[in-house]
Structure 1
Amino acid sequence: MNKVLIKNAKIVNEGTIFEGDVLIENDLIVEISDSISAKSSECKIIDAEGNYLIPGAIDDQVHFREPGLTHKGDIESESRAAVAGGITSFIEQPNTVPNAVTQEILEEKYQIAAEKSYANYSFMMGATNDNLEEVLKTNPKNVAGIKIFLGSSTGNMLVDNEVVLEKIFSSTPMLIAVHCEDETTIKNNLEKFKAEYGEDIPVTAHHLIRSEEACFISSSKAVALAKKTGARLHIFHLSTAKEMELFTNKIPLEDKKITAEVCVHHLWFSDEDYKTKGNLIKWNPAVKTTNDRKVLWDALVDGRIDVIATDHAPHTLEEKKQSYLKAPSGGPLVQHAVVAMFEAYHQGKISIEKIVEKMCHNPAKIFKIEKRGFIKEGYYADLVIVNSGLPWSVKKENILYKCGWSPFEGFTFKSRITHTFVNGQMVYSASKVKDIRAGKRLTFDR
């Protein structure tokens, strides 16, 4: 039997922080108390020494690149980086190669993860203009949801047939997650910049090409369609102040039919950083202005935005070093997301309780994930110990992404992940990921 006793931790759960102990047996949390004594010499004791014990983060939007794009990253490499960063569960997107737009291809991804993943996993079913029949076969008990690209972003999965869109929205009972950027607006903006710069458009124009208007047109249409059809809508990686008008904090999360996500890079960077970071912070949707960033923070803290995620999407440095028009959008984030949010705590932008709400509790609630996202007796022991006063710097040699780079390179974080448990197994400690692939397929209470 696997037995672990975590002692003297500042346990963060459901809006409170309290000092106590947590006992793990096999893959479950079996006891939480002020003080627990080890009843067996076989019980491994970890003294958390007043560090924070949080539920493992659940990243509801990653691109781990397998199958088909594994020169950028793969399920093994990126899930290793995730557990080192305190992310114990991930939901991966369908724009791999081939696109996960049939049940057969979707299931193949689950089989890869069952062999390779260090973290718990689920994969979204992809929608296209002509696969509604396949979409409707998706099992709500063991698949996270349906993903629709309303902006082409990467891959070949743009859904732009409005009749099809309405059919998907009105006929699937599952959560529908969307990437919202209006393709026509982006194309028109791009032509204007090409007329001015030719092929040498500067990356500083990225947020003007993939503009606030492009985001708002698309996300407002998605919200209107969800209201019309009663669909359960979750909007990924919101990036603009204007879009915050579409969301409410007036009702509890459990009663929301339309929920919102923001990503770490839109909370951290602004258009001012393009000058120094260049294509390394080229994402879709684009990193926008300092005012957009400020309003995103306001909406996150006041409850209009429900989830913090990464949209982890690695590319090689060689790919990123190309000219603006050729360089792909996306970057790696899972190893540094939790400590980046703890940095925001140190800056007074967000409380630790709120970080846990947005990165652990709310993804579990929104996707109805079974027995994860909380520190509760009877729940899976996905747990992370964070020392909030143990600085470390991001360097090439400690980056675990297969692509080998990070937009945080050279930055010194004040907080450090010291231990990560996945299903009761200690998969990360002493700055090392152990060779334990403890991840399980996520299941859903629906």
Structure 2
Amino acid sequence: MLIRNATLADGRVRDVLVDGETIAAVGEGLDADGDVVDADGKRLFPGMIDAHVHFREPGYSHKETWTTGSQSAAAGGVTTVFDQPNTDPPTIDAASFEEKARLARESAIDYGINGGVTEAWNPEELFEEPIAALGEVFLADSTGEMGIDADLFEDALEKAEEAGVKVTVHAEDATLFDEAATERDDGRESDALASTQDARPVNADAWSAYRAAEAEIEAIDRACTVANGLDSEIHIAHTSTPEGADIADEAGMTCEATPHHLFLSRDDLEELGTFGRMNPPLRSERRRDELFERLIDGTVDIVATDHAPHTREEKDASIWDAPSGVPGVETALPLLLEEARTGTIDYERVRDVTAANVADIFELSNKGRIEAGNDADLVLFDPDASVPIRGEALHSKCGWTPFEGRDAVFPELTMVRGTVVYHDGEFGEGDGKNVRE
């Protein structure tokens, strides 16, 4: 396939020749015997590498599956994902890895499978498997059953360093959660995203008050200090505060921000209700704005979605009973492309935080850039084709989005290793592979 006259992220207009699974050439005036795609006036990006998703299998297929999650990703221009280990069973040994790997073969896009760390993990077995990273290691018992203590955290860093595996950290210090916030639910009515006939009184902001920003800031500081003391490198997941991003950057660590922390704040919770509950929670509008500034200036290294779908029925509960997490794998790149379209961020920066930098951090040398010899993971879009996001039009199994009504630029074509997996609303026959095999 030849994609002709495509505008790349840096503004150059080039032809891109795809031969089999790879990019054969990038240049001007290229010829090909196969299909030709006229990309005049359109932009061509490397596919987004989403280093943080929860595709829910095994154990929670009523929320998402590898088929639905990967199709949703493809429709949003994502060509590779790293799936987190907190499934049922958690991915902590050879048997659980192999069970997830069997299910992941249904993926339409490429993927990595992250290993988990718990008291019951088996690092000797786990590091023998082709894991992508140690994923979302929960520091300081941040979310319950997956939390680990300081000694196990250090042990995990040391073993991962020996194995040459990146460690991703969920940094929230549960000892700094504001327990008093659990008593401040004022019962005000909320226009929840999935309003029902028996609308529930809910103060969704109480969750943000409870899991206070200081709990993240202190945990990031401690995690970076421990890592530096062991001469290890860690990656901080879903940084929700500008202070946390600054700490990671100053410590020489990398960090990610999610679309929900970049585009939503506590100001949105009255409308979102419990559909806006996630960990870490939404922050103030000031912190959201400053975090986006950190994305633009390079302090935040990458965008990852923390795609964590739940059903409407599960989310329609009290703020203390609703599960944490929101879908986002299909809307991340489109939201950023809309910001580039309107001039808030430039296209090269979007390319870097969604593809090039992710490939560098997680050592995917054949992905993340439109260069000869790389995998032909490509996304074509019309930069002027801005449309409002509608949950009913998305492809995640959960069927809703916290970004309802926001403008976005969706791709018209997504290609994974030379195979068209999505084109104008139709899915092709994708054949995703483990990036570590």
- Could you tell me the TM-score, scaled by structure 1's length? 0.90
The match for 1:253 is none
Corresponding residue to 1:99 among 84, 90, 93:
90
Contact 2:245 2:255 in 1 (8 A): no
Corresponding residue to 1:438 among 412, 428, 431:
431
Corresponding residue to 2:116 among 111, 117, 126:
126
Instruction: Mark the CA change 1:64 to 1:33 in structure 2 (over 3 Å): closer, same or farther.
Output: same
1:206 alignment partner, SS class: helix
The match for 1:420 is 414
Corresponding residue to 2:30 among 27, 36, 42:
36
Task: Point out the more displaced range, 140-149 or 59-68.
Answer: 140-149
Task: Please list, as runs of the form range in 1=range in 2, the aligned pairs for 1:350-389 lying within 5 A after superposition.
Answer: 350-389=345-384
Instruction: Give the CA deviation at 1:129.
Output: 2.7
Contact 2:335 2:407 in 1 (8 A): no
Instruction: Give the CA deviation at 1:410.
Output: 2.7
State the Cα deviation string for residues 74-126 of structure 1 (Å, max 9, x = none).
11101000000000000000000111111221122122112x10110111100
Task: Please list, as runs of the form range in 1=range in 2, the aligned pairs for 1:174-323 lying within 5 A after superposition.
Answer: 174-186=165-177, 189-190=178-179, 192-197=180-185, 202-248=203-249, 258-323=253-318
The match for 1:135 is 123
State the Cα deviation string for residues 204-244 of structure 1 (Å, max 9, x = none).
12211111111112111100100100112000000112213
Corresponding residue to 2:324 among 307, 329, 332:
329
Letter in 1 for 2:41: G
Contact 1:248 1:303 in 2 (8 A): no
Point out where structure 2 has 5 or more consecutive residues left out of the alignment.
Answer: 188-200
Whole-angstrom distance in 2 between the partners of 1:247 and 1:194: 30
Instruction: Give the CA deviation at 1:154.
Output: 5.4
Whole-angstrom distance in 1 between the partners of 2:203 and 2:124: 43
Point out where structure 1 has 5 or more consecutive residues left out of the alignment.
Answer: 250-255
Contact 1:212 1:242 in 2 (8 A): no
Contact 1:136 1:172 in 2 (8 A): no
Corresponding residue to 1:156 among 145, 149, 174:
145
Instruction: Mark the CA change 1:139 to 1:313 in structure 2 (over 3 Å): closer, same or farther.
Output: same
Hey, which bits of structure 1, 4+ residues long, moved more than 6 A? 198-201
Instruction: Give the CA deviation at 1:282.
Output: 1.2
1:46 alignment partner, SS class: strand
Whole-angstrom distance in 2 between the partners of 1:270 and 1:349: 18
Contact 2:113 2:434 in 1 (8 A): no
Contact 2:182 2:206 in 1 (8 A): no
- Could you tell me the TM-score, scaled by structure 2's length? 0.92
Instruction: Give the CA deviation at 1:403.
Output: 0.7
Corresponding residue to 2:3 among 6, 11, 16:
6
Instruction: Mark the CA change 1:89 to 1:140 in structure 2 (over 3 Å): closer, same or farther.
Output: farther
Contact 2:202 2:274 in 1 (8 A): no
Instruction: Give the CA deviation at 1:297.
Output: 1.5
| Residues paired across the two proteins, number | 420
RMSD: 1.9
Letter in 2 for 1:158: G
2:306 alignment partner, SS class: coil
Whole-angstrom distance in 2 between the partners of 1:57 and 1:194: 38
Contact 2:220 2:248 in 1 (8 A): no
Instruction: Give the CA deviation at 1:294.
Output: 1.7
Contact 1:383 1:420 in 2 (8 A): yes
Instruction: Give the CA deviation at 1:141.
Output: 8.6
Contact 2:54 2:306 in 1 (8 A): yes
Instruction: Give the CA deviation at 1:331.
Output: 0.8
Whole-angstrom distance in 2 between the partners of 1:301 and 1:136: 40
The match for 1:24 is 18
Instruction: Give the CA deviation at 1:412.
Output: 3.4
Whole-angstrom distance in 2 between the partners of 1:287 and 1:359: 21
State the Cα deviation string for residues 147-183 of structure 1 (Å, max 9, x = none).
2112656572111x22222222223222110101111
